[in-house]
Chains A and B, each alone.
Chain A
Amino acid sequence: MKFFSLFSSAGISNSYLIGPDTGGDAILVDPGVFDAPLLQAVESNGLFVRWVLVTHAHNAHVNGIRSLLKVYDAGIYANQPSILDFPARHVEDGNLLSLGDFRVRVIETPGHSIDSVSYRLDHMLFTGDLLSAGAIGTTRDGYARGLLLATVRRKLLPLGDEVLIFPGHGPPSKIGIEKLYNPFLGEKL
């Protein structure tokens, strides 16, 4: 599996590109921007962006879709009926997406936003703005913060300590690392 993490200075956000070793159809998670480095990563590795997975519809994570769709005929997957006026295939908790040879599990993880979802692909978890290294996402109010923390504890922490976290912002982490060192996860609900 080819795997790339790309940084958007526009939204200070991460995008992730996943494709077969031999090239071919690829997954792009949260294209906050579609710029030359991303295009180069796709093309120089013989990949074709076929599927776009959106963790939530905030600009820092979807702004690249408009340009992307001018280049690639990609399907958008989100917990929204449309993204930037482009129709999206609706995903919900428990869906198993068959994307080429990749199997991606959808986990609804509301809190940061009501449409937030995480995607699990093998030992990798794409959490958007729900959970990042030593931090949690911003929330609108106390209720949403409680919802976020409950979601993390109930749905993500049991996934296994060696599951890798690839967040929408900041460095990667692991579930086990967040259990030990994320100071926010100890908050009382």
Chain B
Amino acid sequence: MYVPRSCTVKGCGRPALARSDRCAVHLPDAAAHVKEILREAHGSSRLVDLDLAGITLMDEDLSGLEISGCRLTAATLTRVRLSRAAIQLSFLDRATIRDCDFSRVNIVNSVFAGSLIERCTFADSEIIQGNFLGISGIAVCFDHSDLYGSRFVGSVMEAVSMRDCNLTRAYFDAAHQGAVDFHLSNTNEAVFSEVEP
């Protein structure tokens, strides 16, 4: 599991990036720093226990990578390929995730809460106990995926496709579902209760 440290710039308080004492904002050439970390990750096929909060990734290929114990809170991911990646115990909360490919991904006990997820696919995936609380999901495809124990509480979903999904123990309390397609999914085993605060 990543170990949180704060940026050493006085008054900052943002998380320091792995292998640095500064955050993604205050580290000079943070992009090169992240590139180097990813280069090593490609060599080992693993990205483990790293704090990468606030980073920006664009047009990266992370497909097939093992991502474990990492924090990518408030990261921006654009056109990143993560197909067949194995993501566990990782935190991609409050992230901005656009045009990314998570198809055939294996996600276990990971957090996407509060993220904007737009024009992404999670099709044909195993997503076990995923935390999608409060996401804004726009044009997202989860078709043919196992969403066992995943929670979409308080999310806002527009044009989201969950066709032929396993929704056993999936929670959708207080979620706004505009045009979500649940065709052939076992919605009877999911929880859809309305909660009045």
Is A172 an interface residue when CB atoms closer than 8 A count as contact? yes
- CA separation between A124 and B169, bound complex, in Å? 25
Our pick among A122, A180, A182, A184 for the contact of B114 (Cβ within 8 Å) is A180
- Contact at B93–A184, with CB atoms within 8 Å? no
- Contact at A134–B151, with CB atoms within 8 Å? yes
**Which bracket fits the contact residues of B?**
20 to 34
Our pick among B4, B111, B129, B173 for the contact of A183 (Cβ within 8 Å) is B173
Tell me the residues in window 126-181 of chain A with beta carbons closer than 8 Å to chain B beta carbons. Answer: 133-135, 162, 164, 170-174, 177, 180-181
- CA separation between A162 and B15, bound complex, in Å? 10
Task: Please count the residue pairs between chain A and chain B whose beta carbons lie under 8 angstroms apart in the complex.
Answer: 97
Tell me the residues in window 150-183 of chain B with beta carbons closer than 8 Å to chain A beta carbons. Answer: 150-151, 153-154, 169, 171, 173-174
For B153, list chain A residues within 8 Å (CB). 133-135, 181-183
- Contact at A171–B114, with CB atoms within 8 Å? no
User: Would A183 and B151 be within 8 Å (CB), given that A135-B171, A173-B113 are in contact?
Assistant: no
Is A123 an interface residue when CB atoms closer than 8 A count as contact? yes
Majority DSSP secondary structure for residues of B touching A: loop
- CA separation between A181 and B32, bound complex, in Å? 35
- Interface residues as binary, A3-26 with B (CB distance below 8 Å gives 1, 0 otherwise): 101010000101000000000000
- Contact at B91–A187, with CB atoms within 8 Å? no
- Contact at B197–A134, with CB atoms within 8 Å? no
Our pick among B1, B4, B108, B151 for the contact of A133 (Cβ within 8 Å) is B151
Residue of B nearest to A18 (CB): B1
User: Would A174 and B111 be within 8 Å (CB), given that A1-B3, A3-B1, A5-B89 are in contact?
Assistant: yes
Is A186 an interface residue when CB atoms closer than 8 A count as contact? yes
Give chain A's interface residues, CB within 8 Å of chain B.
1, 3, 5, 7, 12, 14, 122-124, 133-135, 162, 164, 170-174, 177, 180-184, 186-187
Given contacts A174-B93, A181-B133, 6 further A-B pairs with CB under 8 A are A171-B110, A172-B89, A174-B113, A181-B134, A182-B154, A183-B174
